[in-house]
C-alpha cells in the first residue's frame, strides 16, 4: 500500500508540527529511503507543485490551496501507480480547485491512475474518463468518455454491438 497507492485527503491530514518538506518526506521514511534521498525527492515534489518557496513552512502558515498541493506532493512521494483522491477540491476556491484538477489530469496523462471521489458532477464529467454515479449507496449509472464524447454505459454497449 505504501508504494503502490498514494492518498490525497479532503482535510489534507498534514502533520501540524512538520514543515511542508517534512510532511512529504514522512511516507518515504517507511520505505527505507535515506534521509538525503528523502530531502531531494521532497524538494523536487514541492518544486513540481509550485511550492519551492514554502518548503520550511508549517501547515498553519499555508493557505488551503497550498496545503492541498503539499498533500498531493506527499501522495507522490513513493511514486505510486494509483492515487486515491477524496474530495481533492472540497476545501478550495474555484480557481485553486481547477489548478489541482489540472495537475491530477497531468498525472493521469503521465500514466498514473487517479481515482477521485467528489460531490461535484461537473468536475467528474469534465476530468474523468469513467464516472460511477452513486446514490444512497447504490450504483446508479456509469458514464465514459471516448474520443472527446461522453457515453452512458448502455449507449456504449449498444454502439459496440452495432459495430460488430
**Domain coordinates of the chain in residue numbers?**
5-128, 129-164
Q: What is the pLDDT of residues 111-156, one digit of tens each?
A: 999 999 998 888 888 888 899 998 899 988 998 886 554 545 555 4
Q: How far apart are CA 38 and CA 30, in angstroms?
A: 11
User: What is the arithmetic mean of pLDDT over 48-63?
Assistant: 95
pLDDT of residue 6: 92
Phi/psi of residue 51, nearest 5 degrees? -120, 30
Q: Which CATH superfamily is domain 5-128 in?
A: P-loop containing nucleotide triphosphate hydrolases (3.40.50.300)
Q: What is the pLDDT of residues 70-86, one digit of tens each?
A: 999 999 999 999 999 99
- 61: DSSP letter: G
Q: How far apart are CA 72 and CA 108, in angstroms?
A: 13
Q: What is the pTM of this model?
A: 0.78
Amino acid at each position: 500500500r505504501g508504494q503502490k497507492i498514494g492518498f490525497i485527503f479532503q482535510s489534507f491530514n498534514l502533520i501540524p508540527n512538520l514543515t511542508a518538506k517534512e510532511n512529504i518526506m514522512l511516507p518515504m521514511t517507511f520505505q527505507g529511503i535515506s534521509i538525503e534521498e528523502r530531502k531531494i525527492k521532497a524538494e523536487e515534489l514541492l518544486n513540481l507543485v509550485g511550492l519551492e518557496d514554502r518548503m520550511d513552512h508549517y501547515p498553519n502558515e499555508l493557505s488551503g490551496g497550498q496545503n492541498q498541493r503539499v498533500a498531493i506532493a506527499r501522495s507522490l512521494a513513493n511514486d505510486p501507480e494509483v492515487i486515491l483522491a477524496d474530495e481533492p477540491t472540497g476545501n478550495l476556491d474555484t480557481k485553486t480547485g481547477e489548478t489541482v484538477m489540472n495537475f491530477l489530469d497531468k498525472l493521469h496523462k503521465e500514466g498514473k491512475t487517479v481515482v477521485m471521489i467528489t460531490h461535484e458532477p461537473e468536475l467528474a464529467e469534465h476530468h474523468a474518463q469513467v464516472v460511477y454515479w452513486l446514490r444512497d449507496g447504490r450504483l446508479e449509472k456509469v458514464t465514459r468518455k471516448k474520443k472527446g464524447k461522453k457515453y452512458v454505459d448502455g449507449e456504449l454497449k449498444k454502439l459496440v454491438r452495432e459495430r460488430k
